[in-house]
Structures are given as C-alpha cells and as structure tokens.
Chains A and B, each alone.
Chain A
Amino acid sequence: MGVGAKVNALGLERSAYTGRASTLCKGCGHDSISSQIIAVAWEMSLPSHQIIKLSGIGCSSKSPAYFLNRSHGFNGLHGRMPSLATGAVFANHTLKAVGVSGDGDTGSIGLGQFKHMVRRNIPMVYIIENNGVYGLTKGQFSATADKGQKLKYAGVNEMMPIDLCLEAIAANATLVARSFAGDPKQVRELLKIALSHQGVAILDIISPCVTFNNHDESTKGYVYGKQHQETLQDISYIPAYDEITVDYAEGEAQVVTLHDGSRIVLRKLDPERHDPTDRMAAYQVLEQARANQEFITGLIYIEPDSPSITETNQLVDTPLAHLPEDVTRPPRATLDEMMAKLMGG
C-alpha cells in the first residue's frame, strides 16, 4: 500500500478489486459496468473472497474476468448461468453471487433458467448487459432488439422486443431495476441496493454495443439513450454499517428497509408517480415506457422481505460445502438399524 493511498474499511485500495485487462471493444458499455462494480465493491468494503462471479456466454459474460480478481469466477454455458449460481449458493449460502449476462444469454437461450432463478428468489445480483444485439457472432438481433430496428447484417427487426424487467416481475422477482451504462452514478446506486438485497436482484442495464448497435435510431444506442433517458428517482444508498446519512427531505422521500437491516432511500422527482413496492405500478411504468418507446430507469420494483430459497430451505449455518464427515455421513449404527429393518423383507 502506497503512503497516503485511499483505503476502504478493510484497509484495501481500489486496485484490490480490479480484474484483468478487458478484451472488449474500446468504449463498450460493459466495461463501464465493470468499473462501477469495482467502485461499489471497494466503496462498500465487500470481502472479495465472499463474492462469486458467474456468467454465461457472450460479450457480457466475458466481463467477470475484468473485475474482482480476488473473487472466484465461473464463466459457464450460454444461458445456463442461473443454474450454476443456484448450485453454488446452496453449497455455500454465505457467498454473494454476482452474475453477468447479456440479452442473448438471458432473453433467448436462457429465458427459462432466468425465470426459474427469479421464481426461486436465488440470492444473487443478476446483471443483464443489454444491447439488443449478438456481438460475438457479429451482429444478429437479440430478443430485446427494438421493432423496426435496422442492422447491417440482420436487416429490419419486425418483432416486438422481450422486456426482461417485465419478465422478471411476472416471474415474481423481488428486485427489478433498469439503468444505463452511461450513467455511472445511477448504476453504482442500483448496484449497492442490489448487493444489499437478500433475494434475487435483476439489473437490466442498457449497455450499448459500440460496434454493432450504435445507430442513432436504436433505443439501445448512446445517442438515443442520452436524449431519451428519464430519471424515475434519484436514489441514495445508506448501508446499515455506515454512519454517514444522506441528506433528504422528509415528505419527499420514500424509505425502504432491506432485509439485512440496511435501508434505501428513494427520492422521487414526483413522489406520487412511482411506488417501487407497488407491483401494479411497476407493470404500469414499464408498459407506459414501452408505449412511449422509452426506457425508464431506476428502481422499478422491490419486495424487501421475501426470504431467499436458501433461507426457506432451513439449512444449517455452516455452508453445506464445509460440513465435516461426522455430520454428513450417518454413523454405522444407523446403517445397521436400517439393514435390520429391511431383513423382514
């Protein structure tokens, strides 16, 4: 540690949270998201060894190699990361899973696993780096591509997109948010909320593809995003273990206490406009945004008290992976008793 270097509560510099050099295209929105993950993990003083990074296949799924070098990572199969994450958090429920997926990975090949992971309320942060295009295979439409969108390779998309936030809410997600990779402040704030949430947290982050999907008319391009982004709420985050309080005016803010005791404070532009604990309102803002050909950003839905599946399973406190043999292998007498019973036929 250099003299005077800035350290977090664990005494670690930001560099302790970085990853390997990115191999994604220069200016890719995914790299910006990786930077925010690094910033937030450092800021929140998260112990890296308690985080696992998971991903599927695609440009987005490469990115876990580019942050949190001190965390175990698993770059799995296309669309199947939710199942890997599910097994991992059951094996060790003390781990915090951070998954990174893309719109092809989540919206097409992995839609089934995505929705079942959501339904199970797997305790993980699930980030969709959404650009509406298949980059690694050079520019096909994904299921989140806009209707009428044109791509050099694929022509015109005639189908309506799948809205992954709507899909998540329909599958009973306990946290759904949407953001824009070009808005690092909001991404960081939403990441903090998601990391404090005890169940599944879906972050659909519009992350423009600089190479294949960055036309002015695409809703997932930079130009469109900057012009049309509407901020739903101004969100500040207060971890329970942090004494710093955010300055917010009563009456204009909404406080949600998360399961772990930490609270989020939502500052709305119009407090009457959106209550993120209201499921119908969540549907409504998403449908309205769709009708307006816009994307709404911010915390769309949260249900803070829902237990995750590892909680409802009533597991022992020690992670299953670390249980000793004398706990997991019943004694000889148990087998003898069972055999004696079976001798009667």
Chain B
Amino acid sequence: MSQAVQAAERVTGQKSGKPIVNDFQIVVATVNGTGSQTANSALIRALFRMGIPVNGKNIFPSNIQGLPTWFSIRLSKDEYVARREHSEILVAMNQATVKEDIQNLSPGGVVYTPEEWNIPAERDDITYYTMPVKALVSASDTPPNLRDYVSNMVYVGVLAAMHNIDLAEVHEALNIHFSGKAKAVESNMTMVNAAFEWAQDHLAKSDPFVAERMDKTSGLIMLDGNSAGALGAVFGGVTFVAWYPITPSTSLVDALKDYLAETRHDAEGKATYAVVQAEDELAAIGMVIGAGWAGARAMTSTSGPGIALMSEFGGLAYSTEVPSVIWDVQRVGPSTGLPTRTQQGDVLKAYFLGTGDTKHVVLLPGSIAECFEFGWRAFDLAERLQTLVFVLSDLDLGMNLWMSKPFEYPDQPMDRGKVLTAEDVDRLGGFKRYADVDGDGIGWRTLPGTDHPLAAYFTRGSGHNDEAQYSERTEDWAGNMARLTRKFDTARTLLPKPVVDTVKGAIIGIISYGSNDPAIIEGRDKLKAQGVKASYLRLRGLPLEGTTRKFIEKHERVCVIENNTDGQMAKLIHMEYPDLAPKVQSIAFSNGLPFSARWIYEQVMEWEK
C-alpha cells in the first residue's frame, strides 16, 4: 500500500478506492483581486517541492478587481506540462461562476465550495465537499481588513489534508513567496493549519486523488518565461531598456529591473544600465534605436498593440542597420483583443514590421530555458547582424510558471559585431559605412564619440550610398537592397537551428514553435499509442534555413500547428518554399488558451485521415 493511500485512510478512516496518484489537475476559481495568488503559489510550490512535476496556468481577466479568474495546477507523474481542458479537483471560490465551473468538472471529480453557499449536489458523478470558510476565518484572530485575503488559505489547508500535500512544504512555499517575512508567513500558515485540522476532523474522503512525494523535480527550477527572458537579457549585458507598460509584457521589465538592481551596480552604487519608462511604444523603440546606434545593448518589451505602433521604427532600424531587440510577449489580437489571453498572432507582423521591403530576424523560444538563452543571444545577433531582432514569446510562456533545468551560463563571449575604433579608422584611412567588404552583407560601423576626423557617418532612413550619403541614384538603392538580402541570408546561418525529432518510417511531420511544445510532445505520445508515427520539427528562429526544407522534403505531408487563426507560419513557409507548398498544410486555431494534447491529437488524427 502506498504512502498516499495510507495517508488517505489515516485522514478518512475509510478506503477510498484505487488511488489516482500525481496525475490530476486542480483548478481554483476565484474573483480577481482577492489575493488568491498567494494561496495558489503556495500550493504549486509545495507540490513542486514534493518532487511532483507540476505546471501552473493562470486564466485571468483584463481587470483589476471583481472578474473571474482560474488558476489550474496540473500534477503529472509523467512530466506532461501542457494545458488540460478539464480538471479533477475544483475549488470554487467564485459564486458567479460556480455553476459553470461544476459543469466543467471531469466525471469522478471533486468540488470544494464554501459551506455558506449551500450549493446543491446536482451531479451524481462527482464528490461534493464544503468548507466553513467564514467560520474558520472568524475563529482565527485575523484582523478584519485581511480576512478576505487570508480566507484563501482555507482551501490550501483543506486540500493539503484531503490530498496529502505536505504542510511542511506549504510552510516553506509561503516562506519563499513572502521572501522570509515571518509575520506574513505565520498569519497565513495559522489559517492553513486550522483548515487542515478542521478537514481531518470533519471531512470523510471519498475521492481517489492523492499527491505522493516523488523525485522528479530535484535539480529543477520553477519560473515564468518573462522572468527567464529578463534574466537572459541581464546575462546578455543589456545596458539600456525603454518600455511602455502593456499586458502581458510588463512583468518582463519588472523582473528586469529587479535583476538589474541586484546584479548591475558598481562598488559606488552607480548603475551600469538605465531603464526608462517611455511615454508610448513609439518613444520606447525610438530610444532603443537611439541607444543601439550609440553602442548600447538596448531592448524593449511589448505586445501586439505596441508592435503595431513600432512599425515605422521597425523599418528605420532595418534600413539604417541599428542593433536593437524587441521582446514581443504575444497576446490575442486583432486590436485590443484579449489582453490577458495567449496567442501566436504576431508572427507575420513582426517578421515584416515596417514599410517597403522590410524583413526581420525573429527568435522563437519554446521554453523558459530558451527565453533565458535567447534573452542574451538576441543581443549577439542584433550586434553581429546590425539589425532589429525580435524575440516572440507569448502570454502562456511568459506569465505562467514552468519547470526547467537550471539555465546555462552563456557558452561564448559577447559578440559586439563589426565596430571600428579610432585606430582602425586611422589604419584604414577612413571607411564606408555600408560597403560589403566581407561579402556577408554586413558593413562596419563606428560609434558616436569615436575620436577621429574620418570616423563620423550620417545615418538616415532615406536612400543612401555605401558612404551613408543621401542618394536617390537607382543603382545605389538597388545595390543596397541586394546587400540587405545578402545580410538576411547571413542571418539564416547564425540563428538557432530547429529542433528535429525524425521518427523512422513516419510519413507525416509536424512543424510548430514556441509554447506549443508541451502539448505537441504529449500529443505525439498519444498519437504513438494509436500507432501514428509523426516526426516533429520545432522552429526556433526566422528567417528559415535549410533544415526546415529538408524536413518537409523528407515527409509525405507536413502540418504546421500554431496558435492563431490565419496559419501565419504556414503561410510564411509557403512563401519561402513555394515548390513545397502543396505538402504543407495549416492546423491553426486561436481562442485565447494554450493548446491541449488532446486537441493536438484530435487535429492530427483528423488531418491524417
């Protein structure tokens, strides 16, 4: 008999059937602005500390207080971290949605409601438990102004008692959440303990769901993608950040400011960086380009509507060849769209941002480890290629908590690109800013402040010749564009290559990117269980390079799975490889949520027919 079952029986004094261990999902339905984040973070951290693979997803409204929020925690002994559509355990703390929330519960599931709501047990395929939230909070000596807040700890205690979550780990999780502030930890823990004891004494366990300590998270970290990207930027030596607040990218800059404050002051306390909150996204990207031009490692972070405003500057950065980095944490568009839901809808917008023949380098992180890696690598690429580099993350990757192996320290020194010093200019007897002396399409630049009479050049978005002088000559224009195309081809050779898993004998292939990865990994396992072999290529950067062409050639048919309505990456592949286009089909969908493995499985089965 497992430890968990023993524990369950100890709690309930009765057998609860065959236990389901570490393979279920808890969803907490709350009203936003009621402080449930502390409770949810305590739960997920405690489970993670018990060695159980977990993933947390916060489905929240674009609102400060009063609208429904759902936080789901998936426990997966098999280490699957994709979203699941249905949960087994519901903690219903939002009276406005409780009916619907109960309807969505998986058969055999469990619901906890506050006792005072008197929710009728309308479904006979689920277990109803009630919690005396008000009574327990009143019985505690919590100050009235904190009661609503602390009341969320009731469900933490009850869940711990009923599903075998280690209280010591809950305590430690609160310690982490409150950065060791003892008073806050204790007031919350008191409530947890009271609820735990109450549940032990009053609730008879009749459900099979139990958490059990295992050893699958040791050596792993847990973090959100925005923090990971911010940390990457810090280790990429970012020196200038300009930004304008926008969900869901704001927490990236928040994290960046914290990490910079922690790591980047000299002995006298002076900063080796600057962060400026701009008046809008136009100014934010303008500042970044100004700083990149003058030699800083400069970045901004934004989302779709911000990208729309940055269009003109996107073209300027491309045309004037100024190193700059934009993090786009994608949310649902068009227009304001669903600001707090996820999408991969900015692929084409980012790739072509600007007017005329503009194209950009785009990095596509698929995990928080890649958020970190691309966080520093983006600067190397921007300075090497003297261009704007996008990092396309999304809300799911950026704002949710993910497990990961610890991030790896950059494995190469910084690449500051082709910069001439005053001595270089002197030795060369001058230079031509946009001349392709090395055949890779990348010219040499000087930084403002270079002390040599021949070091200066004039940067302009208007037509220019090799010497950066104004030119309307047709040959100059066409020649410059041809060089920029050569440079874009150089970019293909420098970007992170796709991750390919070719299955022997597979006739179909899946191409995807970004935060779809966990759902595709799990979906492929489901397909495999049904005897469907599918190879998988995960894109990590644009422009495309040869690997993707080979992958398509190797398979009879390829589907491109992505979280948008128009099938943007599929269209891009069609454009890039028109000869292969008939083999490449789009499986695209967007409703604001990350994909589930079941959806992937069903879509591929349907397509495969």
**A contact set with B: CB distance below 8 Å:** 16, 20, 47-50, 52, 54, 64-65, 69-77, 80, 82-92, 94-95, 112-113, 116, 120, 309-310, 313-317, 319-323, 325, 327-330, 332, 334-336, 338-339, 342-345
Contact = CB atoms under 8 A, between A and B. Distances in A.
Interface string B245-269: 0000000000000000001101001
Provide the main secondary structure of the chain A interface.
helix
B143 to A, nearest CB: 29
B451 A47 contact: yes
B294 A88 contact: yes
Interface in B415-473: 446-453, 455-462, 469-470
B371 to A, nearest CB: 14
Contacts of A75: 458-462
Given A88-B290, A91-B296, A327-B272, A344 B456 contact: no
A329 B264 CA distance: 9
Given A328-B272, A342-B221, A73 B407 contact: no
A73 B293 CA distance: 10
A49 B290 contact: no
B45 interface: yes
A95 to B, nearest CB: 6
Given A77-B313, A320-B239, A90 B452 contact: no
Contact of B294 (A92, A323, A343): A92
Contacts, number: 239
B287 interface: yes
Contacts of A94: 449
A342 to B, nearest CB: 4
B461 A321 contact: no
B313 A321 contact: no
B195 interface: no
A343 B296 contact: no
Given A74-B290, A328-B297, A335 B409 contact: yes
Nearest to B263: A330
A311 B451 CA distance: 24
Among the interface residues B48, B235, B410, which one has the most CB atoms of the partner chain A within 10 A? B235
Given A73-B456, A76-B289, A345-B46, 14 more contacts: A47-B451, A49-B450, A70-B455, A88-B294, A90-B240, A90-B287, A112-B283, A116-B283, A315-B274, A321-B296, A323-B272, A325-B237, A342-B221, A345-B48
A87 B289 contact: yes
18 contacts: A77-B286, A82-B283, A86-B290, A87-B292, A87-B296, A88-B290, A88-B293, A91-B292, A94-B449, A112-B280, A113-B282, A113-B286, A314-B271, A316-B266, A320-B274, A328-B264, A338-B231, A345-B173
A52 B459 CA distance: 11
A21 to B, nearest CB: 11
Contacts of A77: 286, 312-313, 316, 461
B282 A342 contact: no
Contact of A76 (B173, B236, B284, B316): B316
A16 B452 CA distance: 12
Contacts of A323: 237, 239, 272
B584 interface: no
A84 B272 contact: no
A321 B447 contact: yes
Shortest beta-carbon contacts, A-B, top 8: A83-B286, A87-B290, A321-B295, A328-B237, A87-B291, A91-B294, A91-B296, A84-B290
Contacts of B295: 91-92, 319, 321-322
Contacts of A73: 456-460
B39 interface: no
A256 B472 CA distance: 48
B270 interface: yes
Contacts of A65: 458, 470
Interface string B172-196: 1100100000000000000000000
Given A330-B234, A335-B409, A87 B286 contact: yes
A336 B263 CA distance: 13
A87 B451 contact: no
B140 to A, nearest CB: 26
Contacts of B274: 90, 310, 313, 315, 320
Nearest to A331: B409
A337 to B, nearest CB: 10
Contacts of B263: 330, 334
B234 A91 contact: no
A342 B227 CA distance: 12
A344 B407 contact: no
Contact of A116 (B222, B279, B289, B406): B279
B298 A91 contact: yes
B580 interface: no
Contacts of B469: 20
B545 to A, nearest CB: 28
B589 interface: no
Nearest to A330: B263
A126 to B, nearest CB: 14
Contact of A316 (B237, B271, B280): B271
Contacts of A314: 269-271
B325 interface: no
Given A49-B456, A77-B312, A85 B231 contact: no
A80 B286 contact: yes
Contacts of A116: 278-279, 283
Contact of A84 (B176, B286, B457): B286
Most chain B beta-carbon contacts within 10 A, residue among A50, A84, A120: A84
Contacts of A88: 290-291, 293-294, 448
A85 B286 CA distance: 8
B86 to A, nearest CB: 25
Given A75-B460, A323-B239, A339-B221, A90 B45 contact: no
